[in-house]
Amino acid sequence: MASSAQQCESDDDMDEFMDKFKTMKYKNAFSKDNWEEEFDKIPMFLKSVPDEIDPREYPELASIQSIIHSEDRTPEEQAKALKNEGNEFFKEKQYKKAIVAYTAGLQKKCGDQELSKVLHTNRAAAHFYLGNMRSALNDAAAAKKISPDHLKALIRGAQCCIELRHYSEAVQWCDEGLKVHPTDKKLQELRATADKHRRAVERDARKVKVKEKKLLGEKQALLAAIKDRGIKLLQSAKRCGSDDEREDRGSAAVMSELSVDGLSSQEATGHHVFQDEQGSLHWPVLFLYPEHQQSDFISAFCESSW
């Protein structure tokens, strides 16, 4: 009978507690108006890490940060934690923050070459997506120096060289990679792209040289034709030296023979002297008629019309 009475009393207490519980408010519960903002402050559900972590606003996150960066941990543990932190920033496309974390990890100088290789490779990726191609290339080279067969570093180095238009270097990166990863499709694609651009650049350079050689030949032939006709072209030489030196030479402009590059009046008139297929010279000529206050310009006045 006693046990039954105790059971009834316990049931009554539970019923009373449940009745009170329905009207009680949980002191640490989220507020109705700002529950989403408060929910986002929980580290597990953070959509992005704030630039500055205020311990009063983000106590849980601040505690985690203090654990990660605790000086009581070994340099290797700190470097690994910073690498993981950088990876999280990278996933969120916060590349600048990722670079800061990877750099801090490298500054720990933990002595773990494998970890250093990963930090350099990951920082190269963050620099790459920010458009810092030279910095990315330097990190890829540092990772390759630690591990010459590191595929990610080889790929990133080739990509950076292509973006920098260093196509020959890109081909070299790919060739080094294909020696140890002969079937890697990404390296094969990058090499094909780099080689295509390299050949195009070399082709364009050859065209420019051919064009320059042709123009030089035409200028030399033009100058020879002018000299054959006994025409002497003069131009004012550039004045140089002190005032005393100029006085010694006199006030008259010093004249010098015109070089082949001075034959063109393209900038002034839009036309220049040229030699036709029959060997005749055509000159841009300006006629002045002071008495009538008029002028006339002929863009190609043939020497046979003189």
Residue 237 sits at φ, ψ, to 5 deg, of: -75, 155
65-105 pLDDT per residue, tens: 555 555 667 889 889 999 999 999 999 999 999 999 999 99
């064009």: which residue's tokens?
211
CA distances from 101 to 18, 35, 80, 183 (A): 50, 31, 10, 34
Compute how many other C-beta atoms are within 10 angstroms of the C-beta atom of residue 305.
9
Structural contact between residues 142 and 174, judged by C-beta atoms closer than 8 angstroms: no
Average pLDDT over residues 185-190: 97
**Nearest to 83, CA basis, from 38, 114, 55, 45:** 114
Q: How far is CA 154 from the centre of its chain?
A: 18
Report domain extents, the chain: 148-218
Q: Which helix (H) or strand (E) holds 284?
A: strand 281-289
Compute how many other C-beta atoms are within 10 angstroms of the C-beta atom of residue 75.
15
Average pLDDT, the chain: 79
What is the model's pTM? 0.59
